[in-house]
Amino acid sequence: MKRALDIAGALAGLVLLSPVLLFLLAAIPLESPGPALHWSRRIGRDNHIFRMPKFRTMRVGTPDVATHLLQDPDQWVTPLGRFLRRTSLDELPQLWSVLVGEMSLVGPRPALFNQDDLVALRTAGGVHRLRPGLTGWAQVNGRDELPISQKVKLDIEYLQRRSLGFDLRILAVTARAALTGRGVSH
């Protein structure tokens, strides 16, 4: 049932949001030289690496690390990128990853390939068995504001509580958070 919801949700999102997607594909390179999409190496189900698309919010040449590890993140984030991050519009290309089965609509957010501490804690908690999500329980409970240990506790809670009803609740809270920009630090 979860996979059917993922496919239906991703298809509906891609179709309904196609004008926004096409506009951003054109606008991003106009504002900042480079491709509109950034393909990030992420940790997927069972700790396999996959390439996850995002709308590019940083300047070309930004080091490939989590934003909070950059010495001065504001020097790298583009003006349009700041808006895309605050509204979570930069995540929309991940609907493709949901459609092809690399991600789910709801699950733990995929770690960067070099976030060894996060991957180790998730693996110890069994979270690595889950398909990563476009949104997740940790994202609706703090996003960038949470320390890694707290994110993992919430990911483990999701693993234990997962159900169709819980996923629908998380999706509803995510929509509200995206509209307000709550929990985004960069």
Non-local CB neighbours of 155 within 8 Å, separated by 6+ positions: 108, 122, 125, 127, 130, 136, 137, 138
Match 């506009």 to its residue by tokens. 23
Average pLDDT over residues 146-150: 91
186, part of any domain: no
CA distances from 99 to 16, 62, 129, 135 (A): 15, 28, 19, 15
pLDDT at 147 over 60: yes
The CB density around residue 160, as the number of other CB atoms within 10 Å, is 9
In a domain, 75, yes or no: yes
Which pair of structure tokens corresponds to residue 129?
């068995």
d(CA 18, CA 170): 23
Tell me, yes or no, whether 142 lies in a domain.
yes
Domain count, the chain: 1
Question: Given a cut of 50, is residue 185 above it in pLDDT?
Answer: no
Q: Is residue 170 over pLDDT 70?
A: yes
Stretch 18-31: mean pLDDT, rounded?
A: 96
Q: Which is nearest to 106 in space by CA: 184, 10, 37, 178?
A: 10
Confidence band (pLDDT; 50, 70, 90) for 176?
confident
Is 18 part of any domain? yes
149 closest CA partner among 173, 120, 128: 120
Residue 182: per-residue pLDDT: 57
> Is pLDDT of 116 > 60?
yes
Average pLDDT of the chain, as a whole number? 90
| Residue 46 placed within a domain | yes
Q: Which structural domain, as residue segments, surrounds residue 147?
A: 2-180
- The verdict on residue 30 lying in a domain is yes
